[in-house]
Amino acid sequence: MTSAASLSVFASAHPDGARLLADIGGTNARFALETGPGKVEAVDVLACADHATLADAVRAYLAPRAQYGQIRHAAIAIANPVDGDFVRMTNHHWQFSTAAVRTELGFDTLLVVNDFTALASSLPHLRDNEKRQVGGGTAAPDAAIGLVGAGTGLGVSGLIPCGTRWTPLQSEGGHVTFAPANETEVQILQFAWREFEHVSAERLLSGVGLELIYRALCAIRGQAEENIKAPEITRRALAGECALCDQVVEAFCGMLGTVAGNLAVTLGATGGVYIGGGIVPKLGERFERSSFRARFEHKGRFAAYLARVPVYVITAEYPAFVGVSAILAERLAAH
């Protein structure tokens, strides 16, 4: 169930009642109620497409949970840039004013933060059994940490040490220009240019990116393509049913290795690089034996530098709740 064990557990309850936590992606909206520090309950996942607005989704979640009483404080992590009051989602049709939604739902506090900012805030709190190391390396103490994750889109963030605290980055690094690292990736990029004027890393390192890589490899190899979606591509690859689908997954993992290595050298992330999102954790052992780690370290004169940087796949089920809870607690404490 929930990764509530990631939070520091105390016996006390919040004196002002349960707090609403949410992690909103382009496909699913995940909700929970935090009744006290470390006490996360009533985790539920709603399909975004089933609700016309964010407020409708919140009401649908809260309606059968009246026993928790009036919710005064809420924090939402959302897969989108957050700059000011108005939010328009990149990978879904929801758009809203934070202040208007707060008033509509009767909250005293409503925080809306980027989902990877929230996920980054969770990293220092993850337990050993909530992450899996890929390759070697040892985290340097008090050093920057990188975060990248592929799902509906490609999220990027990081943590910068500031004394005894960490500062999460509000990054949109998933939209950097894709850089091919071999001839096949050059051909994939050329195929993608037929559809997109600008091919970002997210265009290929996401659910729809897996589908784009599949179509590109079909064209490159002169093979008829099927109309299959990302979950079926990965299922066939993991089941050993389709060599081409396995090549798609391999290309995806290699590309992600390059992006993660770029992030590590950009941030100086000797504290480690974490891999989140919905795709990689489901690949399991296939990811570990892919070209990811070799591509992560493939930086010429900086290969030895990157060999020392550990990479962890986040395996906690709902890690963003950990981060968004910490952000909300800090805001309330300041007031």
Q: List own/partner pairs for 190-195 with CB under 8 A and 24 or more apart.
A: 191/215, 191/216, 191/219, 191/220, 192/216
Task: Locate 269 and state its tokens.
Answer: 């992330």
CA dist 114 and 101 (Å) reads: 17
CA dist 275 and 144 (Å) reads: 15
CA dist 210 and 56 (Å) reads: 31
**CA proximity to 264, closest of 305, 208, 204:** 305
135 is in an annotated binding site: no
DSSP per-residue codes, 95-137:
EEEHHHHHHHHT-SEEEEEEHHHHHHHHGGG--GGGEEE-S--
Task: Locate 144 and state its tokens.
Answer: 């920057």
42 is in an annotated binding site: no
327 is in an annotated binding site: no
Tell how many helices (H) and how many strands (E) occur in the chain: 13, 13
2 is in an annotated binding site: no
Question: Running DSSP on this structure, what letter comes out for residue 142?
Answer: T
CA dist 321 and 102 (Å) reads: 19
CA dist 7 and 38 (Å) reads: 5
CA distances from 317 to 3, 129, 323 (A): 6, 11, 13
16 is in an annotated binding site: no
173 is in an annotated binding site: no
Annotated binding site: 22-27
Annotated binding site for ATP: 22-27
